[in-house]
Amino acid sequence: MEIPSFFRYLGFTEIPAAAADVRDRYRTLAKQMHPDAGGESADFRKLKDATQRALNYFD
């Protein structure tokens, strides 16, 4: 089974076990990608979108 692209965008190589793993990864990446930390707005929006889609996967 191929891993969905939103998980790959978050840096996962396999589907995580729980939504908490997604939230933890988001926090780590957000610190790096946030515009206030020198990241690009478009990249941060993609991160938020990928995170939301990944969290919806667990609903």
Q: Report whether pLDDT(1) > 90.
A: no
Q: Report whether pLDDT(21) > 80.
A: yes
| Mean pLDDT computed over every residue of the chain | 97
Residue boundaries of the structural domains of the chain = 5-57
Looking at residue 16, what DSSP letter applies? -
Show the CA angle centred on residue 10, arms to residues 57 and 17, nearest 5°. 50
**What is the average per-residue pLDDT within 17-41?**
97
The CATH code belonging to domain 5-57 is 1.10.287
Ramachandran area for residue 7 (φ above 0: left; ψ -120 to 50: alpha; else beta):
alpha
